[in-house]
Amino acid sequence: MELLIYGLVNSAILAVMAIGLSLTFGVSGIANFAYGGFYILGAYTCWGLFTQLGLPYLLSVILSMAALAALGFIFYWLVFLRVRGMEISEAIASFGVGIAILEFLRWWGFIGFYYNLPGFLKGSVEIGGVFVDCHRLIIIGVALALVIFLWLFSHYTKIGLAFRGVAQEERTALSLGINSDFTAALSVAFGSALGVLAAITILPTGTILIDKGYDALLFALAVGLVGGLESTLGVLLASLILGFAQTAVAVYGATHWMMVVTLGAIIIVLAVKPSGLFGKSKELEERV
């Protein structure tokens, strides 16, 4: 029972982390390796607005998401636009920005128990003999809502379809009147905002740590790689697989091995099916 509940919570955490990256990378084909940096920066922004300026919590959440979305948009125009199409440069530039953000924050001294975000709900409930924080249950809710949102967004809204169009065939998208630069900038902005949402949802389970930014990037990439980057269903399934595998290892063995499970899963999936469990469109184009 413990395994079931905590596995579910863990899967939800992974799914929430992965959604933002999946939106920018899977949907519009931009590898935003600065995701981890934005994730933590958003958490600190929210923390600053809430505890230092004393704004209401909901307002500071919305403001920090808006701020990071704006930052993502600017980041696209300053950095990505200039190296667009050169995947290697895209990866290196965004990775560099992400590390610069994280290490700058570390140097600035944002370390300690002092830095934490409040949960949405206090208290805990008992389910089948296991006590669970209400907050962790909310994470599951958020994850489900986000996955459904992403699927609906990328299949039924014009902007979501434009994102996918740019990812699949940029020139055709252009010829159909989609401004590919604007769309891509928007997708980076959306991805960053979702990253902040993920941070605000997940980080109340502990304190804000710089290293969690690296973890977020790694786990988001792992989920994306296992599930297939452009598939919403893949994100869901991959986070369930990885989440339960990690929790099982943590319950029956050592927590240190959680990382190993993740990497093992990536390698096995890639060796068997290189485009991920549900990846289709990019199978030939980019990977093999």
Partner 1 sequence: MVKEGYRKERLDRGIKARCDSIFMLTSYREILYMLLPRVLPIAALIIIPLVLEVSGQVYWQKVFILACVISLLAMGWDYLASVGLVSLGQALFFGVGAYIAGALNHYLKWPIFLTIPVATLGGALICTLLLAPIIRMRGIYFGMVTLAFPLFFNRIIEATKLCGGTEGLPGLTQFPTIWVATYLIIGALLICLFAFRRIIDTDYGMVLRGIRDNDRAIMASGINIYWVKVQAIFICAAAGAFAGAFMSHHIGIVGMSVFALDMSIMPVAAVVLGGGGTFAGATLGTFILVPLSEFLRAYGTLRIAIYSLVMVVCVVGLPEGIFHYLQRKYHQFDRWVTVEAKE
- Assess 252 for contact with partner 1 (CB under 8 A): no
Q: Which is nearer to partner 1, 59 or 211 (CB)?
A: 211
Binding range to partner 1, per CB under 8 A, among 56-64, 145-153, 213-221, 239-247: 213-221
Burial state string for 89-117 with b = 16 or more CB within 10 A and e = fewer than 16:
ebeebbbebbbebbeebeeeebeeeebbb
Write out the binding residues for partner 1, residues 102-141 only, by CB under 8 A: 103-104, 106-107
Joined tokens for residue 159: 């902007």
**Site string (49-78) toward partner 1, x via CB under 8 A:** -----------------------------x
Per the DSSP assignment, residues forming a β-bridge with 125 are 132
- Assess 288 for contact with partner 1 (CB under 8 A): yes
- Assess 1 for contact with partner 1 (CB under 8 A): no
Residue 196: name the closest of 75, 76, 9, 34 by CA.
34
CA distances from residue 79 to 65, 73, 90, 143, 199 in whole angstroms, order as listed: 20, 10, 8, 30, 24
- Assess 170 for contact with partner 1 (CB under 8 A): no
- Assess 23 for contact with partner 1 (CB under 8 A): no
Least spacing, CB of residue 182 vs partner 1, in Å: 20
Options 40, 225, 238, 250; binder of partner 1; rule CB under 8 A: 225
Residue 205: name the closest of 104, 121, 130 by CA.
121
| E strand map for 65-202 | 124-127, 130-133
- Assess 251 for contact with partner 1 (CB under 8 A): no
- Assess 182 for contact with partner 1 (CB under 8 A): no
Contacts of 252 (CB under 8 A, 6+ apart): none
Using CB under 8 A, list all residues that contact partner 1.
31, 78-79, 82-83, 87-93, 95-97, 99-101, 103-104, 106-107, 214, 218, 221-222, 225, 254, 256-257, 259-260, 262-263, 266-267, 270-271, 274, 286-288
